[in-house]
Chains A and B, each alone.
Chain A
């Protein structure tokens, strides 16, 4: 926690360099789903942030949809067979 605190103190006097920001932005870009396709392009920080926002929203939506799907499945599936199937899929 102390290293984080000192970092934020320094940032208020803008000692965070552009290079550090660019590094963090490219790290983000690498995590986006189309990272492989776009790796050679020079994209602006603004578009990386935009794509990141869209990606997070789509993940949230997917989590919602999967929760609904799981809710339906648990209602209709026999408990023990569901458990067996889950354990099987995670161990194999």
Chain B
């Protein structure tokens, strides 16, 4: 399912981005990768909802982009993650890595992380397949 979404985005990117803009195309491809991943997972997961929100915010900024707003898109503004009592210290780091992690309780964080990892690794495998098939 995510394959179709991602490939369609790739085709669109290829048509609309000038061949010379390597960096812009690479950013759009990365955006498409995370978008198709989140879109496929849908609204059933906390991480995918958070990721979709984040991506929609970014693409809206890009649409109305001026020189000033461009600087806002690049650094990721993370919601403040504070240490919580009763959790291993590494939970903090995990909250920063999983979309929407800052607002999750520990149990949900573990559960969402498992699903996030599965989807992320599938997306990476898909991209490897695409690279493999184009470059051969």
Contact = CB atoms under 8 A, between A and B. Distances in A.
A45 B117 CA distance: 17
Contacts of B132: 89
Interface size class of B (residues with CB under 8 A): 35 or more
A60 B98 CA distance: 11
A37 interface: no
Interface in A1-42: 4, 7-8, 11, 14, 16, 20-21, 24-25, 27-28, 31
Interface in B59-92: 86, 88-91
A21 B110 contact: yes
Contacts of B105: 8, 11
Given A11-B106, A74-B10, A89-B129, A66 B124 contact: yes
A31 B115 CA distance: 10
Given A46-B88, A49-B88, A70 B131 contact: yes
Interface in B77-130: 86, 88-91, 93-94, 97-98, 105-108, 110-111, 113-114, 116-118, 120-121, 123-124, 127-130
Contacts of A53: 90, 93-94, 97
A16 B22 contact: no
A63 B117 CA distance: 13
B33 interface: yes
Interface in A59-92: 59-60, 62-64, 66-75, 77, 79, 82-83, 85-86, 88-90
13 contacts: A8-B108, A11-B105, A27-B114, A53-B97, A56-B116, A57-B97, A63-B30, A63-B120, A70-B127, A73-B131, A73-B134, A77-B134, A90-B129
Interface of B: 3, 7, 10-11, 13-14, 19-20, 22-23, 25-27, 29-30, 33-34, 86, 88-91, 93-94, 97-98, 105-108, 110-111, 113-114, 116-118, 120-121, 123-124, 127-136
